[in-house]
């Protein structure tokens, strides 16, 4: 099983499509599969700064600073943004997702401002037999906002796809 949020989900899509023998089940949460030129998340992601990240996710930044032998958080933010905004064929998997053949559960928060419902539905239509969960009353971090509901979705999905 491969379960990730959200960047790891992008890796999961690619891995499941290109090396299917390595992924028996795929679960993603808030993970985009493509980045269209007019995607509203581009403006938001382009504007992210290290200062913003520190103000919103101080504990995560502190963990990074203490666990990294040579921390450079502004550089990390710039590198992560480059990955998030990469529209080349090495970035998002885009049409490669059609090759995914393992049981897949795509989840998103009902109010996710980065992974739209339209994009999730389009993704579901590209993956044969894909399951989809729209987690109500949550945004981009559904696993933190409603861990019980996300956990129940995972439990149900995994019980149907035991290896």
| pLDDT for res 128 | 97
Structure-token pair, residue 118? 């339209």
Q: Are the CB atoms for 110 and 146 separated by under 8 Å?
A: no
Confidence of residue 108 (pLDDT cuts 50, 70, 90): very high
Confidence of residue 40 (pLDDT cuts 50, 70, 90): confident
Confidence of residue 5 (pLDDT cuts 50, 70, 90): low
| pLDDT for res 4 | 46
Homologous superfamily (CATH) of 6-34+92-161 is Alpha/Beta hydrolase fold, catalytic domain (3.40.50.1820)
CA atoms within 13 A on the CB side of 113: 5
Q: Are the CB atoms for 115 and 33 separated by under 8 Å?
A: no
Task: Give the pTM.
Answer: 0.87
How big is the CA angle at 84 (ends 74 and 157), to the nearest 5 degrees? 120
CA-nearest of 126, 85, 88, 135 to 107 is 135
- Extents of the domains making up the chain: 6-34+92-161, 45-84
Q: Are the CB atoms for 87 and 73 separated by under 8 Å?
A: no
């Amino acid at each position: 099983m491969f379960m990730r949020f959200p960047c790891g989900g992008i890796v999961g899509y690619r891995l499941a499509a290109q090396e299917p023998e390595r992924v028996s089940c795929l679960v993603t949460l808030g993970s985009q599969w493509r980045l269209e030129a007019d995607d509203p998340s581009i403006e938001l992601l382009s504007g992210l700064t290290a200062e913003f990240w520190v103000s919103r996710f101080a504990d995560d930044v502190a963990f990074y600073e203490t666990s990294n032998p040579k921390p450079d958080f502004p550089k990390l933010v710039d590198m992560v943004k480059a990955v998030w905004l990469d529209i080349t064929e090495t970035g998002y998997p885009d049409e490669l997702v059609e090759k995914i053949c393992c049981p897949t559960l795509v989840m998103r928060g009902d109010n996710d401002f980065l992974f739209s419902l339209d994009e999730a539905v389009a993704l579901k239509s590209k993956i044969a037999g894909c399951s989809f969960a729209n987690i109500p009353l949550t945004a981009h971090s559904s696993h933190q906002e409603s861990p019980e509901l996300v956990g129940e979705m995972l439990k149900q999905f995994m019980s149907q796809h035991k290896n």
